Amino acid sequence: MSVEQVRPSTGMPVVTTLAAAATYYSVAPGVRLNVRSGPGTGYPIVRSLSEGARVAIHCQTPGTRVTGPYGTTTIWDNIASGQYISDAYVNTGSDGYIRPRCS
């Protein structure tokens, strides 16, 4: 993302690049994780994450209760448009929400 500002002394534009640092989280070791089209086990599988995958979580939303290596939760992580995984399989270091709720 670029932000253009005008330097008052010269009237010339100054372009500043803002880099958003994404945080990636590890999927549980030894797990090939199904990615679903919505926040629940009733939604179709759209793809699978390979073992050792790391994901960026854009937002989180409640959904089907799932038990996995990191506990039992109803939190689902949105990792891309129309792609959700259960937070029970992601090592976020928290039992609660770590990202904003999906709208």
Q: Enter the DSSP assignment of 10.
A: T
pLDDT digits 0-9 by tens, 8-30: 566 655 554 444 578 999 999 99
pTM of the model: 0.79
Q: What percent of the chain has pLDDT over 90?
A: 78
pLDDT digits 0-9 by tens, 18-73: 445 789 999 999 999 999 999 999 999 999 999 999 999 999 999 999 999 999 99
Q: What angle do CA 30, 101, 16 make, to 5 degrees?
A: 95
Q: Which of 70, 62, 63 is nearest to 26 (CA)?
A: 70
